[in-house]
Structure 1
Amino acid sequence: MTNAPDRFPFARLDDLPADIRTRILAVQEKSGFVPNVFLMLARRPEEFRAFFAYHDTLMDKDEGLTKAEREMVVVATSAVNQCLYCVIAHGAVLRIRAKKPLLADQIAVNYRKADLTQRQRAMLDFAVKVTTQSHTVDEADFAALQEHGFSNEAIWDIAAISAFFGMSNRIANVTGMMPNDEFFLMGRVPKS
Protein backbone atom coordinates (compact mmCIF):
# COMPACT_ATOMS: atom_id res chain seq x y z
CA MET A 1 0.00 0.00 0.00
CA THR A 2 1.07 3.55 -0.56
CA ASN A 3 0.39 6.79 1.26
CA ALA A 4 -3.21 8.01 1.07
CA PRO A 5 -4.86 5.12 -0.69
CA ASP A 6 -7.89 6.02 -2.79
CA ARG A 7 -10.22 4.61 -0.13
CA PHE A 8 -9.00 7.04 2.56
CA PRO A 9 -7.38 10.03 0.85
CA PHE A 10 -5.41 12.57 2.82
CA ALA A 11 -7.15 15.80 3.75
CA ARG A 12 -6.18 18.89 1.80
CA LEU A 13 -4.79 21.69 3.97
CA ASP A 14 -6.88 24.32 2.20
CA ASP A 15 -10.10 22.46 3.08
CA LEU A 16 -9.42 22.13 6.81
CA PRO A 17 -10.83 24.16 9.71
CA ALA A 18 -8.47 26.95 10.77
CA ASP A 19 -7.43 25.36 14.09
CA ILE A 20 -6.39 22.10 12.44
CA ARG A 21 -4.63 23.83 9.55
CA THR A 22 -2.74 26.03 12.05
CA ARG A 23 -1.61 23.00 14.06
CA ILE A 24 -0.45 21.13 10.96
CA LEU A 25 1.46 24.14 9.63
CA ALA A 26 3.17 24.56 13.02
CA VAL A 27 4.31 20.92 12.88
CA GLN A 28 5.53 21.44 9.32
CA GLU A 29 7.51 24.52 10.33
CA LYS A 30 9.15 22.72 13.24
CA SER A 31 9.94 19.43 11.48
CA GLY A 32 10.25 20.51 7.86
CA PHE A 33 7.45 18.20 6.67
CA VAL A 34 3.87 17.21 7.48
CA PRO A 35 3.66 13.76 9.06
CA ASN A 36 1.16 11.65 7.17
CA VAL A 37 -0.83 10.89 10.33
CA PHE A 38 -1.93 14.53 10.47
CA LEU A 39 -3.31 14.53 6.95
CA MET A 40 -4.97 11.14 7.37
CA LEU A 41 -6.73 11.98 10.64
CA ALA A 42 -7.65 15.50 9.47
CA ARG A 43 -10.16 13.88 7.10
CA ARG A 44 -12.40 13.77 10.18
CA PRO A 45 -11.83 17.02 12.11
CA GLU A 46 -13.64 16.08 15.33
CA GLU A 47 -11.71 12.83 15.58
CA PHE A 48 -8.47 14.67 14.78
CA ARG A 49 -9.07 17.05 17.69
CA ALA A 50 -9.97 14.25 20.11
CA PHE A 51 -7.05 12.08 19.02
CA PHE A 52 -4.43 14.77 19.42
CA ALA A 53 -5.91 16.07 22.68
CA TYR A 54 -5.48 12.62 24.23
CA HIS A 55 -2.14 12.02 22.47
CA ASP A 56 -0.73 15.28 23.82
CA THR A 57 -2.08 14.61 27.32
CA LEU A 58 -0.31 11.24 27.40
CA MET A 59 2.91 12.08 25.61
CA ASP A 60 3.79 15.67 26.54
CA LYS A 61 4.31 15.32 30.29
CA ASP A 62 7.34 14.30 32.30
CA GLU A 63 5.83 13.02 35.54
CA GLY A 64 6.52 9.35 36.29
CA LEU A 65 8.01 8.55 32.88
CA THR A 66 10.44 10.53 30.79
CA LYS A 67 9.37 11.55 27.30
CA ALA A 68 11.89 9.03 25.93
CA GLU A 69 10.35 6.26 28.06
CA ARG A 70 6.90 7.19 26.75
CA GLU A 71 8.24 6.77 23.21
CA MET A 72 9.77 3.41 24.17
CA VAL A 73 6.28 2.23 25.12
CA VAL A 74 4.93 3.44 21.77
CA VAL A 75 7.65 1.67 19.78
CA ALA A 76 7.30 -1.62 21.71
CA THR A 77 3.50 -1.55 21.48
CA SER A 78 3.56 -0.64 17.79
CA ALA A 79 6.06 -3.40 17.03
CA VAL A 80 3.78 -5.98 18.64
CA ASN A 81 0.87 -4.61 16.58
CA GLN A 82 3.01 -4.63 13.41
CA CYS A 83 2.35 -0.96 12.74
CA LEU A 84 5.01 0.22 10.32
CA TYR A 85 3.93 3.86 10.53
CA CYS A 86 4.18 4.14 14.31
CA VAL A 87 7.35 2.07 14.68
CA ILE A 88 9.14 4.28 12.16
CA ALA A 89 7.67 7.66 13.19
CA HIS A 90 7.93 7.14 16.95
CA GLY A 91 11.23 5.36 16.54
CA ALA A 92 12.54 8.62 15.06
CA VAL A 93 11.20 10.60 18.01
CA LEU A 94 12.70 8.05 20.43
CA ARG A 95 16.14 8.30 18.80
CA ILE A 96 16.03 12.06 19.27
CA ARG A 97 14.66 12.06 22.83
CA ALA A 98 16.93 9.27 24.09
CA LYS A 99 19.94 10.50 22.08
CA LYS A 100 20.62 6.86 21.20
CA PRO A 101 20.53 6.19 17.45
CA LEU A 102 20.23 2.38 17.80
CA LEU A 103 17.68 2.09 20.60
CA ALA A 104 14.45 2.36 18.59
CA ASP A 105 15.54 -0.39 16.20
CA GLN A 106 16.52 -2.62 19.12
CA ILE A 107 13.16 -2.11 20.83
CA ALA A 108 11.22 -2.67 17.60
CA VAL A 109 12.96 -5.98 16.91
CA ASN A 110 13.33 -7.36 20.46
CA TYR A 111 13.16 -5.00 23.42
CA ARG A 112 14.36 -7.81 25.72
CA LYS A 113 17.81 -7.56 24.10
CA ALA A 114 17.83 -3.76 23.78
CA ASP A 115 20.18 -1.45 25.65
CA LEU A 116 17.72 -0.76 28.47
CA THR A 117 17.80 -0.48 32.24
CA GLN A 118 16.01 -3.14 34.28
CA ARG A 119 13.41 -0.48 35.10
CA GLN A 120 12.76 0.21 31.42
CA ARG A 121 12.60 -3.51 30.63
CA ALA A 122 9.97 -3.98 33.37
CA MET A 123 8.04 -1.04 31.91
CA LEU A 124 8.06 -2.60 28.44
CA ASP A 125 7.17 -6.05 29.80
CA PHE A 126 4.05 -4.46 31.26
CA ALA A 127 3.28 -2.42 28.12
CA VAL A 128 3.48 -5.52 25.95
CA LYS A 129 1.32 -7.48 28.37
CA VAL A 130 -1.29 -4.70 28.27
CA THR A 131 -1.10 -4.83 24.47
CA THR A 132 -1.45 -8.60 24.13
CA GLN A 133 -3.01 -9.93 27.34
CA SER A 134 -4.56 -7.10 29.33
CA HIS A 135 -7.10 -9.51 30.77
CA THR A 136 -4.28 -11.29 32.65
CA VAL A 137 -2.79 -8.23 34.38
CA ASP A 138 -2.71 -8.90 38.11
CA GLU A 139 -1.13 -7.84 41.39
CA ALA A 140 2.20 -9.46 40.48
CA ASP A 141 2.48 -7.11 37.50
CA PHE A 142 1.88 -4.07 39.68
CA ALA A 143 4.33 -5.32 42.31
CA ALA A 144 7.05 -5.83 39.66
CA LEU A 145 6.64 -2.24 38.49
CA GLN A 146 6.52 -0.83 42.03
CA GLU A 147 9.82 -2.60 42.79
CA HIS A 148 11.34 -0.43 40.07
CA GLY A 149 9.89 2.76 41.54
CA PHE A 150 6.84 3.20 39.32
CA SER A 151 3.95 4.94 41.02
CA ASN A 152 0.34 3.99 40.35
CA GLU A 153 0.03 7.08 38.15
CA ALA A 154 3.07 6.05 36.08
CA ILE A 155 1.63 2.53 35.74
CA TRP A 156 -1.62 4.10 34.52
CA ASP A 157 0.38 6.06 31.94
CA ILE A 158 2.12 2.92 30.65
CA ALA A 159 -1.25 1.20 30.26
CA ALA A 160 -2.92 4.25 28.71
CA ILE A 161 -0.12 4.78 26.17
CA SER A 162 -0.21 1.09 25.25
CA ALA A 163 -3.98 1.18 24.83
CA PHE A 164 -4.06 4.47 22.94
CA PHE A 165 -1.40 3.36 20.49
CA GLY A 166 -3.15 0.01 20.05
CA MET A 167 -6.02 2.04 18.61
CA SER A 168 -3.70 4.27 16.61
CA ASN A 169 -1.82 1.25 15.23
CA ARG A 170 -5.04 -0.28 14.00
CA ILE A 171 -6.14 2.90 12.22
CA ALA A 172 -2.72 3.24 10.59
CA ASN A 173 -2.79 -0.40 9.48
CA VAL A 174 -6.37 -0.29 8.15
CA THR A 175 -5.77 2.91 6.19
CA GLY A 176 -2.44 1.73 4.78
CA MET A 177 -0.74 4.83 6.15
CA MET A 178 2.97 4.78 5.38
CA PRO A 179 5.67 6.67 7.25
CA ASN A 180 7.11 9.78 5.65
CA ASP A 181 10.57 9.20 4.19
CA GLU A 182 11.96 11.89 6.51
CA PHE A 183 11.34 9.73 9.59
CA PHE A 184 13.78 7.04 8.50
CA LEU A 185 16.88 9.23 8.96
CA MET A 186 15.82 11.38 11.90
CA GLY A 187 18.03 10.99 14.95
CA ARG A 188 20.42 8.57 13.27
CA VAL A 189 23.22 11.00 12.46
CA PRO A 190 24.19 14.26 14.14
CA LYS A 191 22.70 17.42 12.62
CA SER A 192 25.20 19.29 10.51
Structure 2
Amino acid sequence: MTTADRYPVAELDNLPDDIRTQILAVQEKSGFVPNVFLKLARRPDEFRAFFAYHDALMLREGGLTKGEKEMIVVATSAPNQCLYCVVAHGALLRIFEKNPLIADQIATNYRKAPITPRQRAMLDFALKVSTASYAICDADFEELHGHGFSDDDIWDISAIAAFFALSNRMANAAGMMPNPEFYLMGRVPREKKAG
Protein backbone atom coordinates (compact mmCIF):
# COMPACT_ATOMS: atom_id res chain seq x y z
CA MET A 1 0.00 0.00 0.00
CA THR A 2 1.36 3.42 -0.93
CA THR A 3 1.16 6.38 1.41
CA ALA A 4 -1.40 7.99 -0.90
CA ASP A 5 -3.76 5.08 -0.16
CA ARG A 6 -3.84 5.38 3.67
CA TYR A 7 -7.27 6.97 3.63
CA PRO A 8 -9.36 6.79 0.48
CA VAL A 9 -10.62 10.02 -1.00
CA ALA A 10 -14.31 10.78 -0.77
CA GLU A 11 -16.53 10.17 -3.77
CA LEU A 12 -17.84 13.50 -5.05
CA ASP A 13 -21.33 12.10 -5.71
CA ASN A 14 -21.68 10.93 -2.10
CA LEU A 15 -20.88 14.28 -0.45
CA PRO A 16 -23.29 16.75 1.15
CA ASP A 17 -24.49 19.39 -1.30
CA ASP A 18 -22.58 22.30 0.28
CA ILE A 19 -19.26 20.44 0.16
CA ARG A 20 -19.82 19.13 -3.36
CA THR A 21 -20.66 22.70 -4.51
CA GLN A 22 -17.50 24.05 -2.86
CA ILE A 23 -15.30 21.39 -4.47
CA LEU A 24 -16.85 21.88 -7.91
CA ALA A 25 -16.20 25.63 -7.63
CA VAL A 26 -12.52 24.93 -6.91
CA GLN A 27 -12.38 22.52 -9.85
CA GLU A 28 -13.96 25.14 -12.13
CA LYS A 29 -11.40 27.75 -11.10
CA SER A 30 -8.27 25.60 -11.09
CA GLY A 31 -9.09 22.91 -13.63
CA PHE A 32 -8.64 20.07 -11.10
CA VAL A 33 -9.63 19.09 -7.56
CA PRO A 34 -6.75 19.42 -5.10
CA ASN A 35 -6.37 16.17 -3.17
CA VAL A 36 -6.79 17.91 0.19
CA PHE A 37 -10.45 18.58 -0.58
CA LEU A 38 -11.33 14.97 -1.31
CA LYS A 39 -9.21 13.61 1.56
CA LEU A 40 -10.82 15.90 4.15
CA ALA A 41 -14.32 15.53 2.70
CA ARG A 42 -14.54 12.02 4.15
CA ARG A 43 -15.43 13.82 7.41
CA PRO A 44 -17.82 16.62 6.44
CA ASP A 45 -17.88 18.46 9.79
CA GLU A 46 -14.08 18.58 9.92
CA PHE A 47 -13.94 19.62 6.26
CA ARG A 48 -16.23 22.58 6.96
CA ALA A 49 -14.29 23.63 10.06
CA PHE A 50 -10.91 23.27 8.35
CA PHE A 51 -11.79 25.30 5.28
CA ALA A 52 -13.70 27.93 7.27
CA TYR A 53 -10.59 28.59 9.35
CA HIS A 54 -8.30 28.31 6.32
CA ASP A 55 -10.35 30.90 4.45
CA ALA A 56 -10.63 33.18 7.50
CA LEU A 57 -6.83 33.27 7.68
CA MET A 58 -5.76 33.15 4.06
CA LEU A 59 -8.46 35.34 2.49
CA ARG A 60 -8.57 37.97 5.23
CA GLU A 61 -7.51 41.47 4.22
CA GLY A 62 -4.76 42.80 6.44
CA GLY A 63 -1.11 43.77 6.57
CA LEU A 64 0.17 40.60 4.90
CA THR A 65 0.01 40.07 1.16
CA LYS A 66 -1.27 36.80 -0.33
CA GLY A 67 2.31 36.02 -1.31
CA GLU A 68 3.59 36.63 2.23
CA LYS A 69 0.94 34.31 3.65
CA GLU A 70 2.06 31.60 1.24
CA MET A 71 5.69 32.25 2.22
CA ILE A 72 4.71 31.43 5.80
CA VAL A 73 3.01 28.19 4.71
CA VAL A 74 5.95 27.05 2.59
CA ALA A 75 8.65 28.04 5.09
CA THR A 76 6.92 26.35 8.03
CA SER A 77 5.82 23.27 6.08
CA ALA A 78 9.37 22.50 4.94
CA PRO A 79 10.84 21.59 8.36
CA ASN A 80 7.68 19.56 9.04
CA GLN A 81 8.49 17.70 5.79
CA CYS A 82 4.96 18.13 4.50
CA LEU A 83 5.30 17.36 0.81
CA TYR A 84 1.68 18.26 0.10
CA CYS A 85 1.81 21.75 1.62
CA VAL A 86 5.25 22.63 0.28
CA VAL A 87 4.27 21.65 -3.27
CA ALA A 88 0.68 22.94 -3.30
CA HIS A 89 1.36 26.21 -1.48
CA GLY A 90 4.65 26.59 -3.32
CA ALA A 91 2.58 26.73 -6.50
CA LEU A 92 0.41 29.50 -5.04
CA LEU A 93 3.50 31.35 -3.82
CA ARG A 94 5.03 31.28 -7.31
CA ILE A 95 1.78 32.59 -8.79
CA PHE A 96 1.20 35.37 -6.24
CA GLU A 97 4.82 36.54 -6.36
CA LYS A 98 5.09 36.05 -10.14
CA ASN A 99 8.43 34.36 -9.48
CA PRO A 100 9.07 30.78 -10.68
CA LEU A 101 12.05 30.33 -8.31
CA ILE A 102 10.80 31.71 -5.00
CA ALA A 103 9.01 28.66 -3.60
CA ASP A 104 12.03 26.37 -3.93
CA GLN A 105 14.22 29.04 -2.32
CA ILE A 106 11.82 29.61 0.58
CA ALA A 107 11.33 25.88 1.20
CA THR A 108 15.05 25.09 1.12
CA ASN A 109 16.52 28.11 2.95
CA TYR A 110 14.46 31.29 3.16
CA ARG A 111 17.45 33.12 4.67
CA LYS A 112 19.13 32.96 1.25
CA ALA A 113 16.00 33.77 -0.75
CA PRO A 114 15.67 37.20 -2.41
CA ILE A 115 13.11 38.53 0.07
CA THR A 116 13.00 41.74 2.08
CA PRO A 117 14.39 42.05 5.63
CA ARG A 118 10.76 42.52 6.75
CA GLN A 119 9.76 39.19 5.16
CA ARG A 120 12.81 37.47 6.65
CA ALA A 121 11.79 38.69 10.13
CA MET A 122 8.24 37.45 9.45
CA LEU A 123 9.53 33.99 8.52
CA ASP A 124 11.93 33.87 11.48
CA PHE A 125 8.95 34.43 13.76
CA ALA A 126 6.69 32.01 11.86
CA LEU A 127 9.29 29.25 12.22
CA LYS A 128 9.54 29.99 15.92
CA VAL A 129 5.76 29.65 16.25
CA SER A 130 5.82 26.40 14.27
CA THR A 131 8.81 24.71 15.91
CA ALA A 132 9.59 26.45 19.22
CA SER A 133 6.53 28.41 20.35
CA TYR A 134 7.52 27.96 24.00
CA ALA A 135 10.43 30.36 23.37
CA ILE A 136 8.35 33.30 22.06
CA CYS A 137 9.08 36.43 24.07
CA ASP A 138 8.52 40.20 24.04
CA ALA A 139 11.70 40.72 22.03
CA ASP A 140 10.11 38.84 19.13
CA PHE A 141 7.24 41.33 19.08
CA GLU A 142 9.63 44.28 19.32
CA GLU A 143 11.58 42.92 16.34
CA LEU A 144 8.42 42.57 14.26
CA HIS A 145 7.10 46.00 15.31
CA GLY A 146 10.44 47.39 14.14
CA HIS A 147 9.68 46.02 10.68
CA GLY A 148 6.27 47.67 10.62
CA PHE A 149 4.11 44.70 11.62
CA SER A 150 1.07 45.51 13.75
CA ASP A 151 -0.16 43.28 16.57
CA ASP A 152 -2.91 42.05 14.20
CA ASP A 153 -0.26 41.17 11.60
CA ILE A 154 1.67 39.23 14.24
CA TRP A 155 -1.53 37.37 15.16
CA ASP A 156 -1.97 36.50 11.47
CA ILE A 157 1.61 35.22 11.19
CA SER A 158 1.10 33.13 14.34
CA ALA A 159 -2.28 31.76 13.29
CA ILE A 160 -1.12 30.79 9.80
CA ALA A 161 1.98 29.04 11.16
CA ALA A 162 -0.09 27.23 13.80
CA PHE A 163 -2.89 26.24 11.43
CA PHE A 164 -0.49 24.79 8.90
CA ALA A 165 1.36 22.89 11.62
CA LEU A 166 -1.94 21.05 12.09
CA SER A 167 -2.40 20.73 8.33
CA ASN A 168 1.15 19.38 7.88
CA ARG A 169 0.63 16.71 10.47
CA MET A 170 -2.72 15.59 9.08
CA ALA A 171 -1.38 15.55 5.50
CA ASN A 172 1.59 13.43 6.59
CA ALA A 173 -0.55 11.07 8.68
CA ALA A 174 -3.09 10.65 5.88
CA GLY A 175 -0.44 10.09 3.22
CA MET A 176 -1.77 13.04 1.23
CA MET A 177 0.16 13.50 -2.01
CA PRO A 178 0.22 16.67 -4.11
CA ASN A 179 -1.66 16.66 -7.38
CA PRO A 180 0.73 16.53 -10.36
CA GLU A 181 -0.74 19.84 -11.62
CA PHE A 182 0.79 21.74 -8.69
CA TYR A 183 4.37 21.00 -9.75
CA LEU A 184 4.28 23.17 -12.88
CA MET A 185 1.95 25.93 -11.69
CA GLY A 186 3.70 29.27 -11.67
CA ARG A 187 6.80 27.82 -13.31
CA VAL A 188 5.66 27.94 -16.90
CA PRO A 189 3.29 30.42 -18.55
CA ARG A 190 -0.34 29.35 -18.62
CA GLU A 191 -1.80 28.55 -21.99
CA LYS A 192 -4.23 31.22 -23.07
CA LYS A 193 -7.75 30.01 -23.68
CA ALA A 194 -9.04 30.48 -27.17
CA GLY A 195 -11.76 33.01 -27.33
Same topology, TM > 0.5: yes
CA distance in 1, matches of 2:184, 2:165: 25
Give the conservation status (yes or no) of the 8 Å contact 1:81–1:169.
Answer: yes
2:20 equivalent in structure 1: 21
1:96 equivalent in structure 2: 95
Q: Identity over the aligned pairs, expressed in percent?
A: 71
Change (3 A) 1:33 1:2: farther
2:48 equivalent in structure 1: 49
1:63 equivalent in structure 2: 62
Give the conservation status (yes or no) of the 8 Å contact 1:73–1:158.
Answer: yes
**1:80 Cα deviation after fit:** 1.4
Give the conservation status (yes or no) of the 8 Å contact 1:35–1:179.
Answer: yes
CA distance in 1, matches of 2:61, 2:189: 25
1:118 equivalent in structure 2: 117
**1:55 Cα deviation after fit:** 0.1
Give the conservation status (yes or no) of the 8 Å contact 1:130–1:137.
Answer: yes
Q: Deviations over 1:88-147 (max 9, x none)?
A: 000000000111110010000001101100000000000001111100000110011000
Q: Secondary structure at the match of 2:7?
A: coil
**1:61 Cα deviation after fit:** 2.0
CA distance in 2, matches of 1:45, 1:55: 15
> Superposed, which structure 2 residues align to 1:165-180 within 5 Å?
165-180=164-179
- Structure 1 residue runs without a partner (length 5+): none
**1:2 Cα deviation after fit:** 4.4
Q: Which amino acid aligns with 1:122?
A: A
> Superposed, which structure 2 residues align to 1:31-50 within 5 Å?
31-50=30-49
**1:73 Cα deviation after fit:** 0.2
Tell me the C-alpha RMSD between the 2 structures.
0.8
**1:52 Cα deviation after fit:** 0.2
Output the TM-score relative to the length of structure 2.
0.96
> Superposed, which structure 2 residues align to 1:106-185 within 5 Å?
106-185=105-184
CA distance in 2, matches of 1:2, 1:170: 14
Give the conservation status (yes or no) of the 8 Å contact 2:3–2:174.
Answer: no
Count of equivalent residues: 190
**1:156 Cα deviation after fit:** 0.3
Spell out structure 1 runs of 4+ moving beyond 2 A. none
CA distance in 1, matches of 2:3, 2:30: 22
Q: Secondary structure at the match of 1:80?
A: coil
